[in-house]
Chains A and B, each alone.
Chain A
Amino acid sequence: MIRLEGVTKTYAGFGLDVDLRFENEITAVIGPSGSGKSTLLGILSGHDTPDSGTVTLNGRQLDGVVPEERNIGMIFQRPTLFPHLSVRANIEYGAEIDDSEIHELCELLEIADLLETDRSPETLSGGEKRRVSVARAIVTAPDALLLDEPTTGLDEPIRRRLKYELRRVLTELDIPCIYVTHDQNEASVVADSVVVMRDGAVLQQGDYGEILESPRNEFVADFVGIENLIRGEIRQTGSGRTVVDIGGALVEPESPGVEGAGAPNTEVCVGIAPESMTVTANPRDDEERRTRGQDPGATGARTNRIECVVEQVIPERGAKTVFLECGLPKRLKAVSNADSTIEAGNEVVVEFDASDVVIV
């Protein structure tokens, strides 16, 4: 386990100030550029020195410990394979281990065939380079592993495969794996828990599902993919119902979710993930033309319905992104099936369960 207590670092125009705890699991650190993710990794790896605070790894204080004595593996954005050494020499650089162990590790990472010849790292594909860099870091049996956007710059299919493979390999390590990314989707696939950072501070840490259910603020909500964020006022609370006026429509979140949100007339922000919305092409024939989602009535959950006009439909991989004008302060974004027949200009009904509405 890694603990950072009162760790600060100040550069010109930037300050990091964090208290964090990383368990023996994969934790994604997400946040925009300049949020302090790389500085955090620098401090953990020992390449950066904090201005104050302490860092401990499995109870061992790391203050003043140089990088080579920390036993913390690091995988950089660029694979940083030593170009003057062969693939095998790269993997063996940090530790000399048995041939059988190297083969076992390389088979796990699907790079065993690269060991057979004295291949130069420069002959490898982007994905192979990343795998070799992971093998090189793991071979030293680190007590923790830091990954700084390890899939950056890879083609999408390779990136997609690699993140699943990383999840599989990192899970087996059973050490704190800190996975920095700016991609919330990647974070949700790879990590067990998430740390959201901005401007050098931790905004929220927790299980990805928990953060999705109760993001601490609008920034966190937006960053984890709850893109429809609309400010409104609570109109009614109590007797198991809460209604929020979002300036053109009334939305009903699940009451337990808004406990403590405030009394009537309190300003709140309502968030709905695009994936939680069902877009129905014809409001008058909703059962036949439903394009996505289940019938909310079947589960007994309360369903919100808003009539909208489709403004734009953008086909993407396996789905269509639909932008909707619903008479609200902001247009809504929804995701529809790839085979949906919805077109720009269609009148539609957008439905979403009360349980999918978060109050930020």
Chain B
Amino acid sequence: MTRGYGDQSNRTGIGSIFGGDYTLFGLLGAVLVVYLLYPFVTFFAGAQGHVSVGGFMRSEVVSAARYSLTTAPVSTALATVFGVPLAYFLSRAEFRGKLLVDSLVILPLILPPVVGGTMLLTGFGNFTPVGQFANSLGVTLTDSYIGIVFAQTFVASPFVVITSRAGFDSIEEYEKASRSLGKGPVETFARVSLPLSSGHILAGIALTFARSIGEFGATMMTAYNPHTMPTQIWVTFISRGVFATLPIVAMLVALGLIVVVGIRYSGKNIGVNG
């Protein structure tokens, strides 16, 4: 049993639950924890009979892994290169329409990814002006490597923007200190803002990467082919059943765990104390 402040052990019943003791919260939270854990247990328990090295070496699995692992870093890099400056700008600048830009950055998180994919199709599809122009240059924007990157960047980039911005928001006074000590904005950004926000930025990059590699809804619309890992899970599930998806599911879960541990580690470096 968890304890609140001070010794509450002599309290009983309702008094114990509401009298500074966290038991009620723990019990309610436990329901969610069990719910989150349960599918992992059932899936991996049920998939035990399907474990084989050959499963990981199947051509469609290798191909999907190759596409996911080559597109997600590119999407993450694009989101970082453009997203971190945007985060800094939104953190520091005041301008007309800021609320609109703020909302736009969050929108892909709120929208169902498939809706994002639909929007992207109307902007970059083969029959749109942009798509036709790209085609004339021999570049295909949908059902291609680029189409996957478009979908991933659209859906995942808000993570790096929002997380980085939180970092920049928390260090404004340090920047002021640096400026008052005679350092210009560029030097201040390089010597103070970036190092102090690095934990937040790295966490944002990790989340963006994880979201990119797991992207399915928007990718289905913009680039069903070539199959990424999530798309391949869907295809395999339809054709061979749920446990046949084990190799790709296991890889994605492992990647997810690595990202979670990475964020936890970088989180330790985020704290900026007075």
Q: Which residues does A use to contact B, with CB under 8 Å? A: 45-47, 66-74, 76, 78-80, 82-84, 93-95, 122, 129, 136-137, 140, 153
Measured between beta carbons, the chain B residues less than 8 angstroms from A136 are 181
Tell me whether B180 and A68 are in contact (CB under 8 A). yes
Contacts of A94 in B (CB 8 A): 181-183
Residues of chain A with a CB closer than 8 A to B192's CB: 82
B177 CB–A CB distance under 8 Å = yes
25 contacts between A and B (CB under 8 A): A67-B179, A67-B180, A68-B179, A68-B180, A68-B181, A68-B183, A71-B182, A72-B180, A73-B180, A73-B181, A74-B180, A76-B176, A76-B177, A78-B173, A79-B274, A80-B174, A80-B176, A82-B196, A84-B196, A94-B181, A95-B182, A122-B273, A129-B274, A136-B181, A140-B182
Q: Per-residue CB proximity of B157-190 to A under 8 Å, as 1/0?
A: 0000000000000000110111111111000000
Query: Complex formed: what's the CA distance from A83 to B198 in Å?
Result: 12
In the complex, the answer to whether A93 meets B181 with C-beta atoms within 8 Å is yes
Within the assembled complex, what's the spacing in Å between the Cα atoms of A15 and B177?
A: 25
Query: A137–B178 Cα gap in the complex (Å)?
Result: 10
A-side contacts of B177, CB under 8 Å: 74, 76, 80, 82
Closest residue of chain A to B174 (Cβ to Cβ) is A80
Residue picked from B176, B180, B181, B192, most chain A C-beta under 10 Å: B180
Interchain CB contact (< 8 A) of A137 among B173, B181, B272: B181
Residue of A nearest to B195 (CB): A84
Whether A45 lies near B176 (C-beta < 8 A) is yes
| Chain A residues whose CB sits within 8 angstroms of the CB of B273 once the complex forms | 83, 122
9 tightest Cβ-Cβ pairs between the two chains A and B = A94-B181, A78-B274, A74-B180, A67-B179, A80-B177, A84-B195, A68-B182, A68-B179, A80-B173
Alpha-carbon gap, A73 to B179, bound state (A): 10
Judging by beta carbons under 8 Å apart, are B176 and A74 in contact? yes
**A67-B176, A76-B176 given as contacts; is B272 within 8 A of A83 (CB)?**
yes
Residues of A within 8 A of B274 (CB): 78-80, 129, 153
Interface size range on B against A: 10 to 19
Question: Is A45 within 8 A of B181, CB to CB?
Answer: no
CA distance A70 to B274 in the complex (A): 25
B172 CB to nearest chain A CB (Å): 9
| Minimal Cβ-Cβ distance residue in B for A42 | B176
Q: Which residues of A contact B180 (CB under 8 A)?
A: 45, 47, 67-68, 70, 72-74, 137
A122 surroundings in chain B (CB, below 8 A): 273
Interface contact A47-B272, CB-CB below 8 Å? no
Q: Is the CB of B184 within 8 A of A68?
A: yes
Closest beta carbon of chain A to B28's beta carbon, Å: 36
**Docked pose: A45 CA to B179 CA in angstroms:** 9
Residue of B nearest to A139 (CB): B181
Interface centre among B177, B178, B272, B273 (most CB of A within 10 A): B177
Q: Nearest Cβ in chain B — how far from A15, in angstroms?
A: 18
Most B Cβ at <10 Å: residue of A70, A71, A73, A93 = A93
Min CB distance B265 to A, Å, is 16
Hey, which chain A residues are within 8 Å of B182, CB to CB? 68-69, 71, 94-95, 140
B184 to chain A minimum Cβ distance, whole angstroms, is 5
- Closest partner residue, chain A, to B179 (CB atom): A67
- Distance to closest chain B CB from A231 (angstroms): 43
Contacts A82-B196, A83-B196, A84-B195; A47 near B181 (Cβ below 8 A): no
Q: Which residues of A contact B196 (CB under 8 A)?
A: 82-84
Please name 15 further chain A to chain B contacts, defined as beta carbons within 8 Å, in addition to the given A79-B274, A84-B196, A129-B274, sorted by A numbering. A47-B180, A66-B179, A67-B179, A68-B181, A68-B183, A70-B180, A76-B173, A76-B177, A78-B173, A82-B196, A83-B196, A83-B272, A83-B273, A136-B181, A140-B182
